[in-house]
């Protein structure tokens, strides 16, 4: 009788990966929807939550469920809100004559941190990216045009990022807005080329707002 060597016992069978429980596979697949998270990162997150932080996993699940049930898009600015019109749009202290267009809610938050802008906003929730199948309809440019033509707005400030996609979005939106007789300006290039508002210091953003130029 021939005995198997220790190496042959420990070596996994070729082309036969160990199957995962279906619930674990579902969790890993769900985590992969996060930007920049691949299969290995998603698996590490899943194992960490299940083994090291089950309370954190429960809070995460509850938080997502609560947010999905409560949050909607503001009817005026398209930002996330628990009410049909968000607090910013409803505030009488904001200057309704100015409308600042940003890509994402994180950009709006950075602008608010500067305390240099007192107008209203419109959040595109993205930027033009034909290679990714994101066109004017996907970022709500029709809603932006409708919002800007409310009879109160006097200036639309394009504050998209100075990336290739952000510049293309600003140019396209600017042409549509100007064709409808609206005054359009672009935040100044105090921001670095290729930079994103989320990662820029407040003083630079404030200066870019003050030095905005015709689009």
- HEC profile of the chain: CCCCCHHHHHCCCCCCCCCCCHHHHHHHHHHCCCCCCCHHHHHHHHHHHHHCCHHHHHHHHHHHHHHHHHCEECCCCCCEECCCCCHHHHCCCCEEEEEEEECCHHHHHHHHHHCCCCEEEEECCCCCEHHHCECCCCCCHHHHHHHHCCCCCCEEEECCCCCHHHHHHHHHHHHHHHCCCCEEEECCCCCCCCCCHHHCCHHHHHHHHHCCEEC
Residue-level pLDDT at 16:
62
Taking residues 32-56, report their average pLDDT: 95
Weakest mean pLDDT among 10-19, 166-175, 188-197: 10-19
pLDDT tens profile 94-139:
999 999 999 999 999 999 998 989 999 999 999 999 888 899 989 9
pLDDT tens profile 55-79:
999 999 999 999 999 999 999 999 9
Residue-level pLDDT at 36:
92
* Global confidence as pTM: 0.77
Residue-level pLDDT at 193:
65
């Amino acid at each position: 009788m021939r005995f198997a060597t220790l190496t042959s016992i420990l070596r996994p069978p070729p082309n036969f990966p160990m199957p995962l429980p279906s619930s674990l596979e579902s969790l890993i697949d769900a985590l992969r929807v996060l930007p920049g998270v691949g299969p290995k990162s998603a698996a590490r997150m899943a194992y960490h939550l299940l083994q090291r932080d089950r309370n954190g996993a429960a809070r995460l699940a509850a938080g997502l469920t609560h947010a999905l049930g409560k949050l909607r898009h503001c009817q005026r600015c398209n930002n996330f809100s628990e009410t049909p019109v968000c607090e910013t749009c409803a505030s009488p202290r904001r200057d309704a004559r100015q409308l600042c267009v940003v890509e994402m809610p994180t950009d709006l938050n950075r602008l608010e941190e500067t305390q240099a802008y007192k107008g209203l906003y419109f959040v595109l929730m993205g930027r033009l990216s034909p290679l990714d199948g994101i066109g004017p309809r996907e970022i709500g440019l029709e809603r932006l045009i409708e919002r800007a033509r409310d009879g109160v707005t006097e200036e639309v400030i394009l504050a998209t990022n100075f990336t290739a996609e952000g510049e293309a979005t600003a140019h396209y939106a600017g042409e549509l807005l100007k064709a409808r007789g609206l005054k359009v300006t672009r935040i100044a290039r105090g921001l670095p080329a290729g930079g994103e508002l989320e990662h820029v210091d407040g003083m630079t953003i404030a200066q870019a707002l003050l030095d905005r130029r015709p689009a």
